[in-house]
Amino acid sequence: MKKNKKDNPTTEHFITVYNADFDEEYSNHLTAMDTFVYVTMKLMAGNPYGMDVLYVTPDSICTYALNEDATEVPQRFTRELRESLKRIAENGYFPHISDRRQTFDTSVFRKKDLTTNWKVEKATLIPISAYKKIFQAFELSEIAKVRIFYFYVKLSMLIGYYTGVCTYSLDVIAEKTGVCKKTVQAYIRTLEAYKVLAVYHMGQNVKCYANFPTNVLGQYYNKEKVFQCGQDTYYSFCSRNKIKQDLESNDRGISA
């Protein structure tokens, strides 16, 4: 199968987000809508050597991210966008240069991205291709896209930087992302369907065991690594517990 360049780790491009900005104990933490606006503004600002002034309105965000005019989305969504832009400015992520003209200072985030020591402040790389896949998904409503993206960003923080995979149970993922287990399952299925995540499914033959291994997941561009790690985890569990490997099961393995 021919590889899509956008899903190739060597050609992937990323946006940096900082884990502490999502801590709800932090009064200025990013909400779901704030995260959408913040990442979109970073993309709209362009390369790190661009100008330090960015003009942004709810309409320009809708056009950039959703390929829709603000008049085509629900008024509530536009209102929340406007409120989020205000919070983003007041909380110092993109300070206002002119509130009346809707211009923002991009030098703050540029300086942080260039000077932050990742050993001191944890950060996560969000693939731009994943952002595009989520916000260009025609079957999802605007608010559903925002909620799923917020979940996806938080889930990405649980994917090991060096291993490239997440092996947490659904219960732990639910606790760490702040959504219920049923919603976690629904969101992961959606992200898998849109080829944002790669998920290795363990199969029914091990799920009757109390300590069966969780599904292994990771970024879609890392799907080969996710498959290998998932397969190794499955084989190891079967060998350790003397379980016959279900080599022909249709519910085990990774989506294409």
Residue 245: per-residue pLDDT: 73
How large a percentage of the chain has pLDDT more than 70? Answer: 88
- Average pLDDT estimate for 2-6: 48
- Average pLDDT estimate for 46-75: 90
Task: Read off the tokens for 110.
Answer: 């540029």
DSSP-assigned states of every residue in 52-87: SEEE--HHHHIIIIISS-GGGS-HHHHHHHHHHHHH
How far is 211 from 237, CA to CA, in rounded Å?
A: 9
pLDDT, one tens digit per residue, over 178-198 is: 999 999 999 999 999 999 999
Residue 184: per-residue pLDDT: 95
The amino acid that residue 153 corresponds to is V
pLDDT, one tens digit per residue, over 144-181 is: 999 999 999 999 999 998 889 998 988 999 999 999 99
Q: In this structure, are residues 178 and 139 in contact, taking their beta carbons and an 8 Å threshold?
A: no
Q: What is the pTM of this model?
A: 0.89
- How would you write 214-247 as a 3-class SS string? CCEEEEHHHHHHHHHHHHHHHHHHHHHCCCCCCC
Residue 130: per-residue pLDDT: 97
pLDDT, one tens digit per residue, over 204-253 is: 677 667 667 678 999 999 999 999 999 898 888 888 888 877 655 545 55
The separation between CA 128 and the C-alpha centre of its own chain, rounded to angstroms, equals: 10
